[in-house]
Amino acid sequence: MPSIANLTVKKNDGVTDVTFTAEVPSSGDKNPALWRNQSVGTAISHRPTLTLSSRNNGTGTARRMEGQLVYPVTVTGTDGKVTVSDKAIVQISGVIPLGMPVTDINEAVAQAMNLFATTLVKDSFKSGYAPT
């Protein structure tokens, strides 16, 4: 089982790093681990978060993994108060069979994550449309 650690990824410019700080490790099934981008926002609710949780599937033959990024957008009102006006939410879910060979799990997960990280998939999410 992996241990929680800070996560560093590239921003949209492909050059600048952004760090999601490990804040809360998972305490077990259905309890998500939490990371937060501490470099933006003036309040905790203004900061992007990543959660990752795991649990057995209904029959106990697989593990279900669920991840969610919440990216809030803030606006400053005429009174100077900063509020969250909108949130982009990106979710990923996977079912990993317990009877599947580890080498096949490793390959499936690596290929899935690499495919989701391709320019085409990222551009599709950015535009809000699947490729045509």
pLDDT digits (tens, 9 = 90+) for 13-48: 999 999 999 999 999 999 999 999 999 988 999 999
d(CA 44, CA 62): 35
pLDDT at 10: 94
CATH code of residue 19: 3.30.380.10
pLDDT at 51: 97
* Mean pLDDT in residue range 100-119: 96
In a domain, 41, yes or no: yes
pTM of this structure: 0.90
d(CA 75, CA 73): 7
Mean residue pLDDT across the chain: 96
Do residue 81 and residue 132 come from a single domain? no
Strand order in the sheet with 49-56: 7-10, 17-24, 33-37, 49-56, 62-76, 82-97
In a domain, 2, yes or no: no
pLDDT band at 1 (very low <50, low <70, confident <90, very high): confident
Whether the predicted pLDDT of 110 surpasses 80: yes
Q: Which residues pair with 55 in a beta bridge?
A: 64
Q: Which amino acid is located at 50 in the chain?
A: L
Tally of CB atoms within 10 A around 119: 7
What is the extent of the structural domain holding 115?
Answer: 100-132
pLDDT at 105: 97
> Which pairing describes strands 17-24 and 7-10: parallel, antiparallel, or unpaired?
antiparallel
Do residue 83 and residue 29 come from a single domain? yes
Counting the structural domains of the chain, the total is: 2
Phi-psi region of 60 (alpha: psi -120 to 50; beta: other; left: phi over 0): left
* Mean pLDDT in residue range 74-96: 96
In a domain, 121, yes or no: yes
- What is the phi/psi pair of residue 117, to 5°? -90, 0
pLDDT at 64: 96
In a domain, 36, yes or no: yes
Do residue 24 and residue 58 come from a single domain? yes
